[in-house]
Chain A
C-alpha cells in the first residue's frame, strides 16, 4: 500500500513541475525544496551574515584587532568597546569579527583538503574496484583507527601549532569518511545502464569518472562537506583552546576562549568568554541545520 503511494508520488513530481514551468533543472528543484525548509534557511542566513561580518570586518569596526591599549584592559562593555576589551586592552568585538575570519577559513580550507583526498581516493577505489579498492579501503580503515582529537593533538604538537598545520591535520585525518561515501555511490552507479552505454561508446575512464560518475555523487558530497565544515570549525576551536591550534596574537574563537582559564574572568567577565563560545555554537548549528536541509532537499525519500 505504501509502495503504491510512493509510486504515485514519483509520477507526480515531474508532471507537477512541468506544469508550473517549462523545464526545471535538478538544482532548481533542490533549491525550491530547500527554500521550503525554514530551519535550513535560518541556518543559511546566519552563515551568510557571519561570513559578511568576517569579510567586511575592517569596515565594520573603527578598532584594529591588534591595537593594544594598556590604559583600558579587561574593560566591561561600553559605548566605545561594545564587547569590552581583553587583557591587553584590545577591542573584543573586533577580535570576534577577525576570529570569525580564521575559523571560517580553517573550516573551508580543511574541508577542501578532505574533499580533495576523499573524493579522489574514493572515486578511484569505487571505479577500479578489486585490489585498488581493497588497498584504499584498508588505508581508510587504518586512518579511522585513530581517535581524532588525540591524534590531531599529537600531530599538531609534532609539527608545531600553526593555522596551516591545523588545516592540514583536519584535512589529512578526515578523508576516510568522504572516501567511503563516494566509493559506495560510485560502486552502485558503475553497475547502472548509463555506464554500460558509456563503455559501449568508448569513453575514457577519466571522462567517465569526471563527467558521469562524480556529478551523480555530488548530492552526498555537498551534504557531508557542509557538515564537515561544522566539524572542522569545532576541531579547530578545540585545538586552539588547548593552545595547539592557531597561536595568539591571531584571534580565533577557540583561542579567545582561553581567557576563561582565568577563574576571575570566568566568574566576573562574561564578555570575554561567552561571545566566542556562542559564536562557535551558532555557526556550527547553522551549518548543521543547512546540512540537514540539504540532505532532505537532495533526497526527499529520506525525509519521510
Chain B
C-alpha cells in the first residue's frame, strides 16, 4: 500500500536569544492510510514539534523548518502556499491537543466552533453544517447533542471537551488525525473512554492516526507502529509487538522499565538516571550517552546512524550497529 504521509529528514530549529535549538533534527517516518503511528518520548524530545511541522504551524519566528520533505497524498507540504496549506488543515489533516480545557475558544459555543470548520471545508450552509455538527457530537458519544450544541466550553468537563475536540477534528473526514497527548490531561477512567472512542472511530472512518505521547500504555493500546524519539532524533522504530517484546535501544528499555507492569515481579520501578539533555548543549556522539548504562567510548564521539536490524526494525545505537572498518 502507498504511504499516506512520508516525512524525510525533517529538521525544525528554534532560534532563541541563547542559541539555536535543534528541536527536530533529521526525523524520518511514514504512515499508511488507516494506520496508527505512535511517537513516543519524554517531553522536549521534539515529538510535538514534529507534529506541528506536519501541520506547518511552527511559529516563525522563533521556529523554522530548515530542511526535509513532508509528502502527504503525493504532495510535498513544505512547498505548498499558505492558502493551499489551509485547505489541508482541518480538512485532510486534523489535530487534537493535550489540553481540552484550553483548546476550545471560551467565548464561542461549541456548535459554532465545530460548524466553522464544516462550513469552511465542506461548503455547507449554516443549517446543514449544524446538522452535521450534531451528528458528529452524537458520533463521539455526547448525550443530548442537539441541546448542548449551543453551550459554551466552560459548561463541559475535560473528557467531554476532548470529545468535542474529536468531533471537531473528524467533522471533515480527515485522512490523518494528529493526536498530541490526547489523554494526558484527563482522569484515568476518562482516558480509557477517549482511547476507546478514538479506536472505534478510526475503524469506522478509516482515519490514519499519528499519536504523540509519553505514555507507553497508550501506544500499546492504540498504535500499529512506534517510533521512539530522543533529543530531536528517532532512536528506535518497530511495530508495536516487537518493541514491547524486545526493545533494542537502551533508552527504550529504560522507558519500558520505568513503567509498572503486572507481569513483572520486580519490587520497584527503575528510573532512567539523569535528565533530558539541555537542547542548547546536546552532548557529542549519541545524545543518550550520559544516561546510558551501556555507554562505550565510541558513543561519546560519534552519533550512531539509524540502521535497519532486520524486518521493519531500526535502531540508532552502537550496541547494534558496528562502525564500518572498526572491526
Interfacial residues, chain A to chain B (CB-CB below 8 A):
1-2, 4-5, 7-9, 11-13, 15-16
Q: How far apart are the CA atoms of A260 and B276 in the complex, in Å?
A: 67
**For window 250-275 of chain B, which residues contact chain A by CB distance below 8 Å?**
none
Q: How far apart are the CA atoms of A13 and B63 in the complex, in Å?
A: 19
**For window 7-49 of chain B, which residues contact chain A by CB distance below 8 Å?**
14, 16, 18, 21, 23, 43-44, 48-49
Q: How far apart are the CA atoms of A168 and B34 in the complex, in Å?
A: 74
Q: Which residues does chain B contribute within 8 Å of A15, judged by CB atoms?
A: 278, 280-281
Q: A5-B21, A8-B23, A16-B280 are in contact. List 13 more A-B contacts (CB 8 A).
A: A1-B48, A2-B59, A4-B23, A4-B44, A4-B48, A5-B14, A5-B23, A7-B44, A9-B16, A11-B44, A12-B279, A13-B18, A16-B278
Q: How far apart are the CA atoms of A162 and B51 in the complex, in Å?
A: 66
Which of B51, B52, B59, B280 has the most CB atoms of chain A within a 10 A radius of its CB?
Answer: B280
Cβ-defined contact, B279 with A8, below 8 A: yes
Q: How large is the interface on B (under 10, 10 to 19, 20 to 34, 35 or more residues)?
A: 20 to 34
B180 interface contact, C-beta 8 A: yes
Smallest Cβ distance from B164 to chain A, in angstroms? Answer: 21
Q: List 29 A-B contacts (CB under 8 A).
A: A1-B49, A1-B51, A1-B57, A1-B58, A1-B180, A4-B23, A4-B43, A4-B44, A4-B49, A5-B14, A5-B23, A5-B63, A7-B43, A8-B21, A8-B23, A8-B44, A8-B279, A9-B16, A9-B18, A11-B44, A11-B276, A11-B278, A12-B18, A12-B278, A12-B279, A13-B18, A15-B280, A15-B281, A16-B18
Q: How far apart are the CA atoms of A7 and B23 in the complex, in Å?
A: 12
**For window 170-205 of chain B, which residues contact chain A by CB distance below 8 Å?**
180
Q: How far apart are the CA atoms of A12 and B16 in the complex, in Å?
A: 11
Cβ-defined contact, A12 with B280, below 8 A: yes
Which of B14, B49, B279 has the most CB atoms of chain A within a 10 A radius of its CB?
Answer: B279
For residue B55, which residue of chain A has the nearest CB? A1
Which of A1, A4, A5, A11 has the most CB atoms of chain B within a 10 A radius of its CB?
Answer: A1
Which of B16, B18, B51, B58 has the most CB atoms of chain A within a 10 A radius of its CB?
Answer: B18
Q: Which residues does chain B contribute within 8 Å of A9, judged by CB atoms?
A: 16, 18
Q: Which residues does chain A contribute within 8 Å of B49, judged by CB atoms?
A: 1, 4-5
Q: How far apart are the CA atoms of A89 and B52 in the complex, in Å?
A: 72
Q: Which residues does chain A contribute within 8 Å of B52, judged by CB atoms?
A: 1
7 A-B pairs with the lowest CB-CB distances in the bound complex, closest first? A1-B48, A1-B52, A8-B279, A15-B278, A4-B48, A8-B44, A12-B280
Q: How far apart are the CA atoms of A5 and B48 in the complex, in Å?
A: 10
Smallest Cβ distance from A161 to chain B, in angstroms? Answer: 50
Q: Which residues does chain B contribute within 8 Å of A11, judged by CB atoms?
A: 44, 276, 278-279
Q: Which residues does chain A contribute within 8 Å of B14, judged by CB atoms?
A: 5
For residue B57, which residue of chain A has the nearest CB? A1
Q: Which residues does chain A contribute within 8 Å of B48, judged by CB atoms?
A: 1, 4
Smallest Cβ distance from A9 to chain B, in angstroms? Answer: 7
Q: Which residues does chain A contribute within 8 Å of B180, judged by CB atoms?
A: 1
For residue A300, which residue of chain B has the nearest CB? B17
Q: Which residues does chain A contribute within 8 Å of B23, judged by CB atoms?
A: 4-5, 8
Smallest Cβ distance from B227 to chain A, in angstroms? Answer: 17
